[in-house]
Amino acid sequence: MKALKGHFDGQHVVLDEPAALQLNTQVTVLPKENWEEDQSHMDFNGLEKEFDELSRKWRADVGPESSFSKITGNLSYLRIISLGKRAVPLILKDLQREPAPWFLALRAITGEERIGKEEAGNFKAMADAWLAWGREHGYI
């Protein structure tokens, strides 16, 4: 899949270059600041495949582990963080499917702190806070 640049005209997303898209083509819209990193040649299929492999390995490695440091210190988890902002839509998509301890990764990548005292320790509330942030910032 190819990354295309576009802009929002107030009502629609308009592509900045012509592209033949089929009906029902799935697209991921990233906020403008994500394009500050040179992502014009990003391979979304490759990124999604890498993310899926790393997250699958991460889950297999940690299993039902309850130690936060072992969960978030896992090499696959750290490699996902190293993907940077490109991984944020994929992490949020995964978080929508099933609350998982992505919160440190999201904080490390975005520099944002979305978990208040009232949400701390409540996975659903923590996930909801990050998903709301993702919608506010155009990642979802």
Q: 51 or 3: which carries more pLDDT confidence?
A: 51
Residue 127 forms part of a structural domain: yes
7 - beta bridge partners? 14
DSSP 36: G
Taking only the tens place, the pLDDT of each residue in 90-125 is: 999 999 998 788 999 999 999 988 777 777 777 888
List CB contacts of 97: < 8 A, sequence separation 6 or more.
none
Rounded to the nearest 5°, which phi and psi values hold at 51?
A: -60, -45
Taking only the tens place, the pLDDT of each residue in 77-90 is: 999 999 999 999 99
Shared-domain flag, residues 23 and 60: no
Residue 1 forms part of a structural domain: no
Shared-domain flag, residues 21 and 50: no
Q: pLDDT averaged over the chain?
A: 80
Shared-domain flag, residues 82 and 126: yes
Residues of the chain above pLDDT 90, percent: 35
Query: 58 with 87: CB under 8 angstroms?
Result: no
Residue whose entry in the numeric block shows the structure tokens 């490759």: 46
Q: Per the structure, how many domains does the chain have?
A: 2
Find the domain containing 107 and state its range. 44-136
- Distance (Å, rounded) from C-alpha 72 to C-alpha 62? 9
Residue whose entry in the numeric block shows the structure tokens 């929002």: 8
**Helix (H) or strand (E) run with residue 7 in it:** strand 6-8
